[in-house]
Chain A
Amino acid sequence: MKSPDTNHSWFRNLTIGIAFFFTFLLLLSIGVLLFVLKPSEILSALLSEEMFYSMKLSMLTSSASTLSVMCCSIPTAYALSRFSFPGKSLIKAVLGLPMAFPELVMGLALLLLFGHGFLGPYLEAAGIKVTFTKLGIVVAQFFVAFPYAVRVIYSTFEDINPRYEQVSRSFGYGEFETFRHVTLPMARSGLFASSIITFARCIGAFGAVLVLAGGSYMHTEVLPVTLYLNISYGNLEMAVTSGILLMGIAFLAILSFERFEGGKL
């Protein structure tokens, strides 16, 4: 009698083979980026004033956007997961939109919204300038990352059994107290994971940042913009080095995501 294992072994081997092959191909393409430059070239690009500026600005803006994304996406996701209200499915559909269209479209839409023709003059009267400024970077990153954060946090809340909340309510705790003392602690690892994903998404946001904030050299230059500008300057060392930096950040983000989701690598 054949064991079911040997019976399916060609299928098993095929799928595992495909998984290995494409992982290898991806790894190879990432690896190429690491080996095109001499270490001394990477180092000198890393230590250049432009790269420092861009790294600092990337960290600053992404932290600010991550913080504001988390503040807004937690209540949004909670509302979508726990309450039913009119327009809920519309909200979910609209929130899904930016994930389906290119970031450039998002940037253009934001440019027209915050620009001269619409909100711009009112905001400027209030002393707020969004287009072509560092605030513009944060705004662009916010709108790029927000839908993803809502999605991840929504599924985190969905995974928590509402009975815990009902028990808490039955002891006489209010909605907000229950949320703070029961739901949030239970969602802790999911929230942490989503803030990491959000941070990575913010630091990698490009198209929207380029159009709304302009992508000016040493002014609104974040890491992906450094990559783009240096490609257009024909400066391979700087372009590749900013690519390596972005990849390192993405790698750290995915790694901590895997660990906090309880998965093992």
Chain B
Amino acid sequence: MKKVCTFIIIMLLAMVLSGSGCAEKGASIPVSENQEKEFTGRQITVCSGAGLIKPMNELIANFENETGADIEVRYGGSAEIFGILTSKECDVFIPGDYFYTGQAMEKNYVFNESVANLTLHVPVIAVPEENPANISGLEDLANPRVKLALGDPNGPAIGRVSEAIFTKAGILPEVENNTIVKTATVNQLLIYVVSGEVDATIIWEDMASWSEASGKLEIIPIPEEQNKIKTIPTAVSIYTEDPELAEAFNVYIAGEEAEEVWEKWGFEPCDS
């Protein structure tokens, strides 16, 4: 029975993994009610890090209900959505790490004044339930015979960050040796750790709150002095064709109302 449950849960995860651009839409509202709403009939595209899929789907549904706007969303690895931003297909850009927004600001792809920090993004060690390799901290990941899955440093934000963490701890070569798979999105890591294929991985703390993960993995925090805590920023693309709507969405997801949703999905607000 437990095997069957695991299988179903992993199937759900696979759908999240393959989830590019197909967000669930909130229930459609009849046109008559819709008319007074601010942005009825207007549409923008949001490019979001794949790791933000849970809160983002909820925030988008709420925003659509309140304003009548139609928000398309594309989820992907941070480097991937950066590529979509450069091809002028995004109105709002929300990567998993400030690094990418910094790059976008440098190259004038986003309005600098629109950049707002949403939440903290905290890397943690995730191990399968019962912690088969007895991992208690970062150093244990360097032990020979520990099997690791990590994000590809060129792909998702978590890949760059975990490489930086291991470099700082001085165990990068050992960890590289232990890494049996590198993935292009952070969600794929979750599958491998939940199914017990690897002994540990580095993912974002918030992902542990996903129902898919609960009870299937354990989280081991990384002490702050060893960690590289990131912020998730949002920004409006200078190529947007509807700056008014893009700005409104940008402000909404950084606002107080949205904070509850971020916290519900395990994200820590920036100021705490």
A-to-B contact residues, CB < 8 Å: 104-105, 108, 111-112, 115-117, 131-132, 211, 214-217, 219-220, 228-229, 231-236
Contacts and interface: CB of A to CB of B under 8 A. Distances in A.
Top 10 A-B residue pairs of the complex, sorted by shortest distance between their CB atoms = A234-B83, A214-B181, A232-B80, A232-B184, A232-B77, A216-B182, A132-B181, A116-B196, A233-B154, A132-B180
Contacts, number: 80
A111 B188 CA distance: 13
Contacts of B77: 232
B155 A229 contact: yes
Contact of A117 (B3, B76, B79, B192): B3
Given A104-B18, A116-B197, A234 B183 contact: no
A215 B77 CA distance: 14
Interface stretch (B7-15, B55-63, B217-225, B262-270): B7-15
Contacts of A228: 184
Interface in B162-209: 180-185, 191-192, 195-197
Contact of A115 (B80, B86, B184, B195): B195
Interface string B1-31: 0010011001100100110000000000000
9 contacts: A108-B10, A111-B191, A115-B197, A116-B197, A117-B6, A131-B180, A211-B191, A229-B184, A232-B156
Contacts of A234: 79-80, 82-83, 86
A216 B181 contact: yes
A236 B191 CA distance: 27
Interface of B: 3, 6-7, 10-11, 14, 17-18, 76-77, 79-80, 82-83, 86, 149, 152, 154-156, 180-185, 191-192, 195-197
Nearest to A239: B83
Chain A interface SS verdict (over half): loop
Nearest to A229: B184
A108 B14 contact: yes
Contacts of B149: 214
A232 B76 contact: yes
Nearest to B10: A108
Nearest to B3: A117
A2 B171 CA distance: 86
B106 to A, nearest CB: 15
Given A216-B182, A232-B77, A234-B79, 20 more contacts: A104-B14, A108-B11, A111-B197, A115-B197, A132-B181, A214-B149, A214-B182, A214-B183, A215-B183, A216-B152, A219-B181, A220-B181, A229-B152, A229-B155, A232-B155, A233-B79, A233-B155, A234-B80, A234-B83, A235-B83
Given A105-B14, A233-B154, A115 B182 contact: no
